[in-house]
Amino acid sequence: MVAQLGKDLILDIEDDLLAGTYNAVGGFRSNSFTINGESVEITNKGSNGFREFLDGAGIRSLSASGSGVFEDDVTFAGVNDKVLAGTIANWRITVPGLGTYTGKFHIGSLEMAGEHNGEVTYSISLESAGAITFAAV
């Protein structure tokens, strides 16, 4: 894979009215995600001193976060409503040159901040809440 533009790493949320349609959350300056794979260790006296793991066991999860400049738009208002209600929503993470990860996510936090002489900024963190699918480009 060749180098990609960071601006093309995008977090989208599914439109409440049009299932299967995703809208970018506006104003992102940076975002990231982490795929986690918890292991189940099964090392025992018969392991000859080497650590062993149980294949296929453990919990897999995906965490995403981002921060940016608050833009007063319909999509952000929907995100705000979901965090207040504790609603789990479908999100899509686009990784340029690689593909998309799609699945249900819980909004773990939504933070907004502003200085007296600056813009309003926000940061958001997401935790997967079910199976994640990957579609390669």
pLDDT, tens digit, 9 for 90 and up, residues 7-47 = 888 899 998 888 889 988 888 899 999 999 999 999 999 99
Given a contact cutoff of 8 angstroms between Cβ atoms, the answer to whether 68 and 109 are in contact is no
Report if residue 1 sits inside a domain.
Answer: no
Work out how many domains the chain is built from and give that number. 1
Q: What are phi and psi of 105, to 5 degrees?
A: -135, 145
CA distance linking residue 21 with residue 30, whole number of Å: 23
Q: CA-to-CA distance for 100 and 113, rounded, in angstroms?
A: 30
Tell me whether residue 113 is in a domain.
yes
- pLDDT score of 123: 94
pLDDT, residue 75, reads 83
Q: Are 104 and 90 in contact (CB under 8 A)?
A: yes
Question: Which pLDDT value is given to residue 18?
Answer: 85
Query: What pLDDT score was predicted for residue 1?
Result: 65
Q: pTM to 2 decimals?
A: 0.85
Residue range(s) defining the domain that contains residue 60 = 6-136
All residue ranges of the chain with pLDDT < 70 are: 1
What pLDDT does 93 receive? 94
Cβ–Cβ contacts within 10 Å for residue 135, how many? Answer: 11
- What is the three-class DSSP state of 77? helix
Q: What is the pLDDT of residue 121?
A: 92
Q: Is residue 80 part of a domain?
A: yes
Does a structural domain hold residue 77? yes
Q: Residue 72 belongs to a domain with what CATH number?
A: 4.10.410
Domain assignment present for residue 74? The answer is yes
